[in-house]
Structure 1
Amino acid sequence: MSAALGIAPPRTAAEEHIVPVDGHPDVRVRVYWPGEERTPPGAGLPVLVYFYGGGFTIAGIDWVSWDARLRTRARDAGIVIVAADYAHAPEQRFPTQPEQCWSAFEWTHAHAAELGASRDRIAVGGSSSGGDLAAAVTLMNRDRSAHPIAFQLLENPALDLTMGHVDMAGIDARMPGVIVRAAGRNLVRQYLGDDAAIARRPYASPLRAASHAGLPPTLILTSELDPLRGDGEAYARALSAAGVPVTALRFVGQTHGSLGSTGFVPAADVAHRLIVAQLRTLYEEAAA
């Protein structure tokens, strides 16, 4: 599919590392630099720790589409990106994935200088299931380490795995809501197992955390024709109520995956430019 669409990763430097995870399988991370050469240690570039989307069960940093998107973002924003190749369900289940993502974040913070990045200009982001994991990591950071996070970027995120905030209003009537909900519950069951109570835990469903105070400024992108728009927009309201600066943008006429189709969907090109502009503000953080 990627070849048919002409999707090819740009020529940017990258390097892989294996990060140990206490009590869980190690996680592979890939570091992307903005140029064709590795950024030298101590350069102090901003860095984004990012988690791909795939319903907790598919995809990864080796998928051409994700690899190309991350390389392009690193190049266009002039930043370092560290992407975690967290484990798939059902072979590995919660809490393996958030713990792997947390360890990738902690590793990035500890090794920022040697990666040519600055630990004072770190952002966290993710798409879909990766948005769930990104939001979980910011909660874990608040609860465990309180490292400064400049902002979090959530793209069509899944944030309530009880499916209590799924919004079917934008779905075509020819796609019955019961089918969409059944598919969603199947993915959740593969990730969390059969105990429905696990879905109410904050690191599984960040929207259901008892408090959202102390979380980083957040940019949330949602799509009109995506049932998960309810999660993202409810999270924006929860963050705002907790005093967290938040911007939420709904892309009219877009589906869950269409914002990733840069070069083919005009709205995706707009989303890319918006995200790049937001990532570039990380340069301002150091001067603040």
Structure 2
Amino acid sequence: MSRESPFRRPSLDSAVAAFEQRIAPLLDPEPTDPAGRRRVARENDARVSAALEIRPLGTATLDRIVPVEGHPDVRVRVYWPTEERPAPDADLPMLVYFYGGGFTIAGIDWVTWDARFRQRAHDAGIVIVAADYDHAPEQRFPTQPEQCWSAFEWAHANAAELGASPERIAVGGASSGGDLAAAVTLMNRDRSNHTIALQILENPALDLTIGHADMKGISAGMPGVIVRKAGRELVRQYLGDDTATARLAYASPLLASSHEDLPPALILTSELDPLRGDGEAYARALSAAGVAVTAVRFIGQTHGSLGCTGHVPSADAAHGLIVSQLRALHAGSVR
């Protein structure tokens, strides 16, 4: 009698499958033109949020416009952990964060992202500054990393006024926002060398040549050739037609010539996400460069499922892990 191999093909978490089945009837198909796709995606976000009764916490916020030299200004939103804005001497940790959306959709006004920022600021007891960087293809690289860099510089310069400590700032992002967050840490090392206490990268895209994408975990219903084609189209919209641009360090942080002197990192990846190859390769590159790094792969999860808190247990665990790392900044350390 043969024994079943413990190394079976990865399978989708049952909680994720149930969640996807629940929201599928609520989603309208997205058109192919960028503006139409962005509009429908936002409508889908609002519809799903209403059906799931996602209600953002009533924490204090403030919007500001930050100038960006040589590029369009960027809007940022400050999220405080309580309903009242803290005093300037509160000395709270701060997270500068960049949302995910394939460089082409989403934003800080989406219900899901706004709710996530409010909940994370509240649970970790920190200040969050979220940058509403421009979308491709209307604006292309290097506009987005320059906008995110300017948002980080503004947050650092105004930290005390915002009730935060300039010595306890973290930088984070998800998916394409993870790419931008990692780029900002490189830009900071190259330009200002401000103290960054931690970088948090959630299912990040870090090699826009698609050279590290890992197709082994995706389902047979989504062949790797289709995933690669879709990925390359998003990259083309962001970077343009010159394929050499994808090898620039601020476009593909994984391909930077050096990863020394970068901030300690927490990197989350998902088993059924082609971008897990990017995140795990980056963890190895940081470790090899002497950077303290913790990398966690979530079994049975997809690219977006770690955002489904309250519905997927692994998403709740990921939220708890991130919050614990951010709360450690209150003591001045993530170790």
TM-score range, shorter chain: over 0.9
Counterpart of 1:146, as a letter, is N
Identity %: 78
Root-mean-square deviation (CA, aligned residues, Å) is 1.1
Contact 1:120 1:286 in 2 (8 A): no
1:11 aligns with 2:97: no
2:270 corresponds to 1:219:
no
Partner amino acid, structure 2, of 1:182: K
Correspondence for 1:159: 206
In the alignment, the residues of structure 2 paired with residue 25 and residue 287 of structure 1 have an alpha-carbon distance, to the nearest angstrom, of 35
Letter of the structure 1 residue corresponding to residue 242 of structure 2: D
Other-structure match for 1:99: 146
CA contact (8 A) 1:223 1:254 kept: yes
Q: Deviations over 1:231-272 (max 9, x none)?
A: 000000000000000000000000000000000001000000
Looking at structure 1, the residues matched to 237 and 52 of structure 2 have their Cα atoms a distance apart, in angstroms, of 31
Secondary structure at the residue paired with 1:20? strand
- Equivalent residue for 2:71, pick from 24, 30, 47: 24
Counterpart Cα distance in 1 of 2:100 and 2:49: 16
For residues 105-124 of structure 1, the aligned pairs below 5 Å read 105-124=152-171
C-alpha displacement of 1:173: 1.3
The residue number in structure 2 matching 1:237 is 284
Q: Deviations over 1:106-131 (max 9, x none)?
A: 00000001000000100000000000
2-structure distance, mates of 1:79, 1:29: 16
Q: What's the counterpart of residue 63 of structure 1? A: 110
Query: What SS does the corresponding residue of 2:51 show, helix, strand or coil?
Result: coil
Number of residue-to-residue matches in the alignment: 288
Supply the distance in 2 between the matched residues of 1:194 and 1:5 (Cα, whole angstroms). 40
The residue that corresponds to 1:262 in the other structure is 309
**Residue 79 in 1 paired to residue 134 in 2?**
no
Q: Sort the Cα spacing of 1:41 and 1:223 in 2 relative to 1 into closer, same or farther, 3 A.
A: same
1: distance between equivalents of 2:54 and 2:151? 27
In the alignment, which residue of structure 1 is the partner of 2:248?
A: 201
Q: Describe the superposition over 1:200-221 as per-residue Cα deviations: whole angstroms up to 9, x where unpaired.
A: 0000000000000000000000
Give the partner amino acid of 2:218: I
Structure 1 distance, partners of 2:219, 2:163, is 47
Tell me the amino acid that sits aligned with residue 143 of structure 2: T
SS in 2 for 1:220: strand
Q: Superposition pairs for residues 45-56 of structure 1, below 5 Å? A: 45-56=92-103
Tell me, in whole angstroms, the C-alpha distance in 2 between the residues paired with 1:218 and 1:286: 12
**AA at the equivalent of 1:91:** E
- So what's the TM-score if we normalise by structure 2? 0.85
- Runs of at least 4 residues off by over 3 Å: none
Q: Distance in 1 between matches of 2:327 and 2:285?
A: 26
Q: Following TM superposition, by how much is the alpha carbon of 1:274 offset from its aligned partner in structure 2, in angstroms?
A: 0.5
Describe the SS at the equivalent of 1:36.
coil
- For the 8 Å contact 2:309–2:316, the answer to whether it is kept is yes
Tell me the distance in 1 between the aligned counterparts of 2:73 and 2:245: 23
Q: Per-residue deviation at 1:39?
A: 1.1
Query: Which residue of structure 1 lines up, in the alignment, with residue 237 of structure 2?
Result: 190
Kindly state the Cα deviation for residue 287 of structure 1 after the two structures are TM-superposed.
11
Shift in Å, 1:284: 1.5
User: Is the 1:159–1:231 contact (alpha carbons within 8 Å) kept by the matching residues of 2?
Assistant: yes
CA distance in 1, matches of 2:103, 2:306: 19
How many Å separate the matches in 2 of 1:286 and 1:51?
22
Quick one: distance in 1 between partners of 2:152 and 2:329? 17
- Contact 1:233 / 1:248 at 8 angstroms: preserved in 2? yes
* Alpha-carbon distance in 2 for matches of 1:87, 1:39: 29
Whether the 8 Å contact between 1:56 and 1:191 is mirrored in structure 2 is yes
Unaligned runs of 5+ in 2: 1-47
**Structure 1 287/260 Cα, relative in aligned 2: closer, same or farther at 3 Å?**
closer
- Higher-Rg structure is 2
Alignment match, 1:35 = 82
AA at the equivalent of 1:37: E
